[in-house]
Amino acid sequence: MLTVIHIVNQYFGGLGGEEKAGSPVVVVEGAAGAARGLEGQLGDRGKVVATIYYGDNYFHEHVEEAKGVIVREVEKRRPDVVVAGPAFNSGRYGLASVEICQAVAEGLGIGCVVGMDSENPAVSAYREYRNMRVYLLPTAESAAGMTKALSLMARFAYRVGSGAEIGSAGEEGYLPRGIRRLQRTDRPGVERAIDILLKKVAGKPFVTEVPMEVWDQVAPAAPLADSSSATIAVITTSGVVPWGNPDGFKTYRNTFWRKYNIAELGALEPGRWEAVHGGYNVSYMNQNPHYGVPLDALRALEAKGKIGKGKLYPAYYVVPGNQGSPSVMKRIGQEIAADLRKEGVGGVLLVAT
């Protein structure tokens, strides 16, 4: 009989909702919460030997510690396969599921099956890892699709755990990771490419052998006619935050943004600000935070009338952009834009790193 460990968040573990989101990692022997449904779908083919759950907030505030605990607990039991989720459209839950499966697959060599809505922000992280031992199955958007999701995940987990050969994403139904495998064919590439082109020209269905990710085309806003009359805000991806990183930004793959008050400041004093970012050497930014938030230069422009007095927005917006998932960054951009509009900001200085 196949042995399975099911990893879920505090809600689907049966602990509670947001009031329990700060709960640390808990291990329950056997099936608990949603794992009972998974075990029911497995039937006599498999058994859930342990359920591991964690608080959504706790995981993202203690990522490495939480992953370490979970990997050690999985290692003690050496299951045939690990199942995480389904996370549906929950970004926090989805990202935690992907991070945990990546850690388990990479550290222990155990196959993992995770489920979530194909529009979940964590799908980008799954594709970036490109781990051949982690399979993400698309589910419904909400928990209304729980039974169907668990049935799908149970069948796929059985195949992964029993060592069955898993075919391509198109054949098997999991989401593609951008992994290309060499295959021997009877026809050269030029002939196959011509066939695809002819089908495309004729309006017939075809499948490309080299799928490309399509990026959004965003038209820039019109320039400000008069910066001296508009409220100007600063947005930075440099990761400059108050010393001590009070909101717990990570050095990579952040899923939220913050804004910090600068209303009474003429400059950013070294030692009171720091950069949280894994994509560059932050020592220079820590010595001079103005590289990330040029408050000194903006105050000088205020004094010269280039920016109207009192027109510099009294806070700056920040998210460390390192390894940011495109879908997450898009959502963050939309949230910041909504806040800017609400605050009556007319123009933005975007500080790159």
- In order of start, what are the domains of the chain with their CATH numbers? 2-172 (3.40.50.2300), 227-351 (no CATH)
Q: What's the predicted TM-score (pTM) here?
A: 0.65
Assigned token pair, 53: 């759950």
Residue 322: which pLDDT band, with cuts at 50, 70 and 90?
confident
Residues 6+ apart with CB under 8 A from 30: 48, 49, 50, 51
pLDDT of residue 280: 83
Stretch 205-231: mean pLDDT, rounded?
A: 80
Q: Of residues 80 and 347, which shows the higher confidence score? A: 80
Please list the helix, strand and coil fractions of the chain in percent, rounded to the nearest 5, in that order: 40, 20, 45
> Nearest 10 degrees: CA dihedral of 130, 131, 134, 136?
0
Of 114-118, 126-130, 155-159, 213-217, minimum mean pLDDT range: 213-217
Query: In this model, does residue 309 exceed pLDDT 70?
Result: no
Query: In this model, does residue 213 exceed pLDDT 70?
Result: no
Query: In this model, does residue 229 exceed pLDDT 70?
Result: yes
Question: Tens digits of per-residue pLDDT, 245-299?
Answer: 999 998 877 889 999 999 999 999 999 999 999 888 889 999 999 999 999 999 9
Stretch 172-190: mean pLDDT, rounded?
A: 85
Of 68-72, 100-104, 167-171, minimum mean pLDDT range: 167-171
State the DSSP H helix or E strand holding residue 50, giving kind and residue range, or none if neither: strand 46-54
Residue 221: which pLDDT band, with cuts at 50, 70 and 90?
confident
Stretch 70-93: mean pLDDT, rounded?
A: 96
Q: Of residues 229 and 270, which shows the higher confidence score? A: 270
Stretch 206-211: mean pLDDT, rounded?
A: 81
Query: In this model, does residue 208 exceed pLDDT 90?
Result: no
Query: In this model, does residue 117 exceed pLDDT 80?
Result: yes
Assigned token pair, 1: 């009989």
pLDDT of residue 114: 98
Q: Of residues 209 and 122, which shows the higher confidence score? A: 122
- Angstrom distances, CA of residue 163 to CA of 51, 114, 238, 322: 22, 17, 45, 36
Residues 6+ apart with CB under 8 A from 26: 13, 15, 52, 53, 54
pLDDT of residue 310: 63
Q: Of residues 41 and 211, which shows the higher confidence score? A: 41
**Measured between alpha carbons, how far is 155 from 210 in angstroms, rounded to an integer?**
29
pLDDT of residue 11: 95
For 231, other C-beta atoms within 10 Å of its C-beta total: 19
Are 130 and 43 in contact, with CB atoms under 8 Å apart?
no
Amino acid at 280: Y
Stretch 341-345: mean pLDDT, rounded?
A: 93
- The terminus-to-terminus CA distance of the chain in angstroms comes to 53
Q: Can you tell me whether residue 283 is helix, strand or coil?
A: helix
Shortest CA distance to 149 belongs to which of 118, 176, 125, 110? 118
Greatest mean pLDDT among 44-48, 140-144, 304-308, 331-335 lies in 44-48
State the DSSP H helix or E strand holding residue 328, giving kind and residue range, or none if neither: helix 326-342
**Measured between alpha carbons, how far is 141 from 89 in angstroms, rounded to an integer?**
5
pLDDT of residue 185: 85
Q: Can you tell me whether residue 350 is helix, strand or coil?
A: strand
For 313, other C-beta atoms within 10 Å of its C-beta total: 23
Q: Can you tell me whether residue 27 is helix, strand or coil?
A: strand
pLDDT of residue 7: 98
Stretch 292-316: mean pLDDT, rounded?
A: 86
**Measured between alpha carbons, how far is 257 from 243 in angstroms, rounded to an integer?**
16
Are 86 and 153 in contact, with CB atoms under 8 Å apart?
yes
pLDDT of residue 321: 80
The chain-wide mean pLDDT, for the chain, equals: 91
Stretch 216-244: mean pLDDT, rounded?
A: 87
Residue 308: which pLDDT band, with cuts at 50, 70 and 90?
low
